[in-house]
Amino acid sequence: MIRTLRAQLAVPVGAIVLALVVGAIVLIASSPLVTGHIDVMLPIRTYLALVQGSVLSFDGLIDTAVNATPLILVGLAVGLGFKAGLFNIGGQGQFLMGALAAAGVGAALANSGVFIALPAALLAAVIAGGVYGFIPGMLKAYTGAHEVVTTIMLNYVAIQLVGYAITGPLRATGASFARSHDVVDAALPGIINAGRAHEGHLGIIIPLIVVPLIWWLLYRSTIGFEIRTVGANPDAARYAGMRPRRIVVFALTLGGALAGLGGAAEILGVTRYMPASYSTNIGFDAITVALLGRAHPVGIVFAGILLGAMRAGAGLMQVQAGIPVQMIDLLQGVILFFLAAELVVRRVFRIRQAARGVEELQTVTRTYGGQTTAP
Amino acid sequence: MEFLNDVPVLGLLIQLVFYLVQVVMTNGTIILALATPLALGAMCGVMNERSGVVNIGIEGMMLGSAFTGWFVTSLVDQALPASPILVFGITPALLAGLLAAIAMGMIASLVHGWLSISLRVDQIISGTIINIVAFGVTGYLNLLLSRSSTPSGGKFTPFVPPDWLTDLPIVGWLFKMFLQQGPVTMSVIIIVIVLQILLFRARWGLRTRAVGEHPKAAETVGIDVIRLRYRNVIIGGAFAGLGGAWFTIDFGGSFENGMTNGRGFIALAALIFGRWHPVGAFGAALLFAAAGSLGIAIRTTPPAGQLGEILSSIPEQMFSALPYIITILVLAGVVGRSIPPAADGQPYERESAA
């Protein structure tokens, strides 16, 4: 048990360590632009600020949890896809549709009490996200349109839909910029001292409910077994009497619903209205989360918390060390690089080939040649 | 054309066609310019995917090149200021920037090649890495540089075709469209045509397509699959680099964070819509750019009468979303069918090299 755990953790941890080293080199190399001279201590100051801003203070911890919530939910959406042999790049679009639905329903029910408005807004987000996952699922299963391309395209369609809805029918009257009405009653309540800058919100308990459910679904239910079988070998699954097409549609729809929930948590908990120019990189962040967590629900929780903490600490990093927040994107990309180039990590840390990577991934791009899923 | 107002439906359609022609003719220059990064990105895609390597990192490659081109141009310009010479307002700084942008695209491609061809990492993850790293690195450096206000090194100026050519009746606008352009945009047409001929009429093209469709068979007849893939991916990177240069030293003159703004993904769409053919992808890029221009034209100069009312009632965002929706429909086989090369996305493993 301990041994397999260590084998599972070795590569992700190694990738993070190497990414921090690369980050340090970039920081030292660019230090003349920050402090005016080569500064070997800059990485230490930067990483210290990052840690301080994320886990060493109460506000930091709250911010970390708030940031981690959508990352975990969308990360689950991507991870679920991986398990079924699918590459869901549509996290961003599904997140946006969930956010839009939550903002729309939330604004419409703004004064009908928490117990009606909040569940209705969350449900709307789940449905909207689910529909947005259902579309590429159906396209993949029945026409062979590869989900990588269709989900990327749908991301941009979602951006335009949000722009249309918020500048058009959902636009708040009298607001100085294009945004929807406040969600008032549908807002996820703050958990400490409502009104403070770091009040957090009740949405951070959503992953605590959803993650065990997804774990149970994947590893203890029949449908989870089918998902994993289809992911590993669609042909074998079909010969065993399973229906890969349905599984493909199911996995992407459920993933979309989870990502939509993530969008709702962000809108109902953090902004509490939706601006027309809502920009997010969550789709790609979630891919990092899913890969770092090896597509396992528990791994995704840890990866989501790590990336959430990095985002939470970025503010302090900017103030204290003078490092732009884009450093986080850089670190994230480098982590992903080392995860992909496992070989490099293994060489550096002398890790033996024990834990296999996300095996399902091997089948993902193999289907790019455009075959329809077996019926 | 007022009489057409009385003819139902057909009259409207004819008016629409006239309006579209008018929009394309008056906006031809800008449409071709805006199609440039899409077309160059798509050419990068052709080079990659025709030889069996999926590349969704075009966006990141263009972003990295855009930054590099701008940065090197301004560096060289500060080091040795020179007055523009000859056509296009060429300065040594601009040339250096252009070459640096191309080199950056090739380096990014080399990384993509190493990951996806040698390490046989999932090619979509490899592309994703390039996108994320490019976004992070350029954003990080750009913010650091902007603190000390880096002056722009300028940009290429469009060529000015002689008046008698652009004033020609009927075809004059075409000359204007193709000649009143910066060097990057002008190079696109040449690249597209050359690539189309090479891909379908030359030995290299035959080999590339063989490797993209059936690498095992290609290997049996003596083609070095790995080497060909590397070479094509790196040359493709040069196109993406050129496309990146368009952003900062041809069309615009400065860098902004994330300025490629999804154009690498529209390039991917153009590639698919154009069925992995250079000329087809170029046509798709023009179509997508025209759709964007149409959206703007309807806001600024709407047609008169009923047609104007109908067109104005279509939300602006519809036109921006059009390229993506069309691509999904094409991929799903609703309008025509677009099928990628059979070995696209599959890493190649030599059978017992010993």
DSSP assignment of A362-374 equals: HHHGGGGGTPPPP
Q: How far is A112 from chain B (nearest CA, A)?
A: 31
Mutate to test the interface with B, among A82, A132, A160 (most CBs of B within 10 A): A160
A171: which DSSP letter? Answer: B
The arithmetic mean of pLDDT across residues B333-347, rounded, is: 74
The answer to whether the CB of A256 falls within 8 A of the CB of A92 is: no
For B37, the 3-state DSSP assignment is: helix
* pLDDT per residue of chain A (375 residues) written in tens, 0 to 9: 566 777 778 888 999 999 999 999 999 998 888 888 888 889 999 999 999 989 888 888 999 999 999 999 999 999 999 999 888 999 999 999 999 999 999 999 988 888 999 999 999 999 999 999 999 999 988 888 888 889 999 999 999 999 999 998 889 888 888 899 998 888 888 887 655 667 788 899 999 999 999 999 999 999 999 999 888 888 888 888 888 899 999 999 999 999 999 999 999 999 889 998 888 889 989 999 999 998 899 999 999 999 999 999 998 999 998 899 889 999 999 998 998 887 777 777 777 665 555 554 554 555 555 444 555
The domains of chain A are located at 2-368
Q: What mean pLDDT comes out for the span B40-69?
A: 94
Work out the minimum CA distance from A191 to partner chain B, whole angstroms. Answer: 33
Contact A244, A374 (CB under 8 A): yes
- Residue A102 is predicted with a pLDDT of 96
User: Considering the domain boundaries, does residue B326 fall inside one?
Assistant: yes
Q: Does B346 touch chain A if contact means CB atoms closer than 8 Å?
A: yes
At residue B162 the predicted structure's pLDDT band, cuts being 50, 70 and 90, is confident
Number of domains present in the structure of chain B: 1
> Could you give the CA distance from residue A55 to residue A234 in angstroms, rounded to a whole number?
43
Does residue B95 contact residue A337 with C-beta atoms inside 8 Å? no
Residue B12 covered by a domain:
no
Q: Which residues of A touch B332 (CB under 8 A)?
A: 139, 143, 145, 150
- In chain B, residues with a C-beta closer than 8 Å to the C-beta of A156 are 262, 265-266, 321, 324
Dist. CA B323–CA B182, nearest whole Å: 25
Q: B83 lies in a domain?
A: yes
**Is residue B349 scored above 80 in pLDDT?**
no
Please tell me whether residue B85 adopts helix, strand or coil conformation. strand
Torsion angles phi and psi, residue B251, rounded to 5: -80, -55
Closest CA to A23 of A346, A349, A342, A321: A321
Cβ contact, residue pair B122, A334, below 8 Å = no
Q: Among B132, B320, B333, select the one facing A332 at the smallest CB separation.
A: B132
Q: Is residue B5 part of a domain?
A: no
Taking contacts as CB-CB distances below 8 angstroms, the residues of chain A near B266 are: 156
% residues pLDDT > 90 (chain B) = 39
Q: What is the reported pLDDT for B149?
A: 67
Residues linked to residue A171 through DSSP beta bridges, in sequence order: A180
Cβ-defined contact of B124 to A370 (cutoff 8 Å): no
Nearest to A35 by CA among B285, B148, B327, B281: B148
Whether residue B4 has pLDDT greater than 50: yes
Per CATH, which fold does A2-368 belong to?
ABC transporter involved in vitamin B12 uptake, BtuC (1.10.3470)
| Structural domain boundaries, residue B36 | 17-159+181-331
Residue of A nearest to B344 (CA): A369
Question: pLDDT category, B354, cuts 50, 70, 90?
Answer: very low
| Contact criterion met (CB below 8 Å) for A274 and A183 | no
* Token pair belonging to B124: 């979509």
Q: Which of A157, A326, A343 sits opposite B140 (nearest CB)?
A: A326
CATH code, domain carrying B212:
1.10.3470
Give the range with max mean pLDDT: A333-342, B101-110, B167-176.
B101-110
Q: Considering only CB atoms, which chain A residues are within 8 Å of B272?
A: 149
Residue of chain B whose alpha carbon sits nearest to that of A291: B125
pLDDT at residue A370 in the model: 47
Spell out which residues of chain B touch residue A157, defining contact as CB-CB under 8 Å: 321, 324-325
Report the C-alpha dihedral over residues A147, A152, A158, A160, rounded to 10 degrees. Answer: -140
Nearest to A341 among B121, B331, B341 (CB): B121
Nearest CA in chain A to B313: A168
> How big is chain A by its Cα radius of gyration, in Å?
21
